[in-house]
């Protein structure tokens, strides 16, 4: 049992920043497990673990005994697969995931066992904000889509939506029949608790995006998928991921150069939402002018979200779309 207890001590009490001496290992074994062993036995078993290929690390030095040099192993520790910095990143992802708070705590505690007892995630007083809805279920569809992508095959599926009865329904054609999609899949993207399929619909030259969890009866077809580079639209030759923009929702379309004027108080939101892609063209005490290259649909949604503190100035067709949306809101909330 002693060699197993040594492993337990190293796993829970040591890491690269907190190595243990053989005496400290002896003390932990006696204190935690009531086991008394000789120091020679500790040294012998530590070397056995190291020779067996386990991630047991020590510092080797040379000492002189009776006029002869002899190796000495010091500062023993377990080289954990996940470093403390990597573990903090994983735990951060949990807190940003909007999962139920209890589930975040439980998963965090399990992850912390991958490191020594000295590890602290520094989140004792942090509470995550759970999402009001449930994460989208896309497991079976993901498996089928992954197979289609690997085999470079087309797929077919129905695409659902919710109606006033609160139930899911297939999309339908102009004649009222359930619409069956046939597409060439190119990429699956994860964003905002959802998976999205980027693909090309049969008979189209554009990139389309579908929510994977809203696809039903997904079937891998025998026909080979169309190569993306064969598309004749403006997307040809560009990276497929460039046609997506995530901003508390996902927006699609070819990125275009947009410019807008905004109240300077929105600068923090501009940097949070657009990051380095935002280019500050001019600024005065009350107004900033900014350029950003994103899908027009994303720019429109962002402008309406921050209205009336934002005015889109280009491109002209987007200015028209935002104005029409604003006029619609005015009629909706205006006096009868």
Across the range 212-231, mean pLDDT stands at: 93
Provide the residue ranges of all domains of the chain, joining segments of one domain with +: 2-78, 81-131, 139-244, 254-333
pLDDT beyond 70 at 239: no
pLDDT beyond 70 at 137: yes
List beta partners, residue 262: 288, 310
CA-CA distance, 245 to 253, in Å (whole number)?
A: 9
Of residues 239 and 335, the one with the higher pLDDT is: 239
Across the range 129-158, mean pLDDT stands at: 87
Confidence band, pLDDT 50/70/90 cuts, at residue 231: confident
Confidence band, pLDDT 50/70/90 cuts, at residue 336: low
Predicted local distance difference test score (pLDDT) of residue 238: 61
Predicted local distance difference test score (pLDDT) of residue 243: 65
Of residues 194 and 85, the one with the higher pLDDT is: 85
pLDDT beyond 90 at 150: yes
pLDDT beyond 60 at 247: no
Predicted local distance difference test score (pLDDT) of residue 183: 97
Give the pLDDT confidence of 38-79 residue by residue, as tens digits: 888 999 999 999 999 999 999 988 877 777 877 788 999 999
Predicted local distance difference test score (pLDDT) of residue 15: 92
Confidence band, pLDDT 50/70/90 cuts, at residue 229: confident
CATH number of 254-333: 3.30.70
Rounded to the nearest integer, the mean pLDDT of the chain is 88
Q: Which CATH architecture has domain 2-78?
A: Orthogonal Bundle (1.10)
Confidence band, pLDDT 50/70/90 cuts, at residue 133: low
Residue 304, burial from CB neighbour count under 10 angstroms (0-12, 13-18, 19+):
middle
Candidate ranges 71-75, 112-116, 215-219, 292-296; pick with highest mean pLDDT:
215-219
Across the range 6-34, mean pLDDT stands at: 93
Phi and psi based region of residue 134 (left: phi greater than 0; alpha: psi -120 to 50; beta: remaining)? beta
Q: How many CB atoms lie within 10 A of CB 263?
A: 14
Predicted local distance difference test score (pLDDT) of residue 244: 65
Predicted local distance difference test score (pLDDT) of residue 233: 59
CA-CA distance, 242 to 195, in Å (whole number)?
A: 16
Predicted local distance difference test score (pLDDT) of residue 177: 94
* Of the listed ranges 4-18, 19-33, 37-51, 128-142, the one predicted with least confidence: 128-142
Instruction: Please report, to the nearest 10 degrees, the dihedral formed by the alpha carbons of residues 6, 9, 15, 21 taken in order.
Output: -70
Across the range 209-229, mean pLDDT stands at: 93
Q: Which residues contact 157 (CB under 8 A, 6 or more apart)?
A: 180, 181, 183, 210, 215, 216, 217, 218, 219
Residue 19 and residue 77 in contact, taking contact as beta carbons nearer than 8 Å: yes
Across the range 274-288, mean pLDDT stands at: 86
Q: Percentage of the chain with pLDDT > 90?
A: 55
Confidence band, pLDDT 50/70/90 cuts, at residue 197: very high
* Of the listed ranges 21-25, 79-83, 330-334, the one predicted with least confidence: 330-334
On the question of a common fold for 2-78 and 254-333, the answer reads: no
């Amino acid at each position: 049992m002693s060699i197993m207890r040594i492993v337990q001590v190293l796993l829970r009490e040591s890491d690269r920043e907190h190595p243990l001496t053989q005496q400290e290992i002896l003390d932990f074994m006696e204190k935690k497990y009531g086991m008394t062993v000789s120091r020679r036995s500790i040294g012998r078993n530590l070397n056995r673990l190291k020779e067996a290929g386990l991630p047991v690390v020590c510092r080797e030095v040379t000492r002189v005994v009776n006029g002869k040099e002899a190796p000495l192993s010091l500062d023993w520790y377990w080289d954990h697969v996940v470093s403390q910095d990597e573990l903090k990143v994983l735990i951060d992802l949990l807190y940003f995931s909007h999962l139920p708070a209890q589930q975040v705590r439980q998963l965090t505690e399990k992850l912390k066992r991958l490191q020594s007892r000295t590890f602290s995630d520094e989140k004792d007083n942090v509470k995550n904000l759970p999402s009001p809805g449930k994460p989208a279920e896309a497991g079976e569809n993901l498996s089928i889509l992954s197979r289609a992508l690997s085999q470079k095959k087309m797929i077919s599926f129905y695409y659902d939506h919710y109606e006033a009865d609160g139930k899911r329904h297939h999309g339908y054609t102009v004649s009222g029949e359930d619409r069956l999609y046939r597409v060439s899949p190119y990429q699956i993207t994860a964003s905002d608790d959802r998976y999205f399929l980027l693909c090309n619909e049969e008979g189209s030259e554009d990139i389309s995006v579908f929510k994977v969890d809203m696809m039903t009866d997904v079937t891998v077809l025998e026909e080979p998928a169309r190569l993306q580079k064969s598309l004749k639209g403006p997307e040809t030759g560009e990276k497929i991921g460039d046609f997506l923009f995530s901003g508390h929702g996902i927006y699609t379309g070819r990125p275009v150069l947009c410019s807008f004027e905004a109240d300077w108080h929105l600068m923090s939101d501009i940097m949070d939402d657009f990051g380095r892609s935002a280019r500050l063209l001019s600024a005065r005490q009350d107004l900033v002018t900014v350029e950003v290259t994103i899908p027009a649909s994303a720019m429109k949604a962002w402008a309406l979200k921050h209205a009336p503190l934002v005015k889109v100035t280009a491109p002209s067709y987007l200015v028209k779309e935002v104005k029409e949306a604003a006029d619609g809101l005015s009629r909706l909330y205006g006096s009868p």
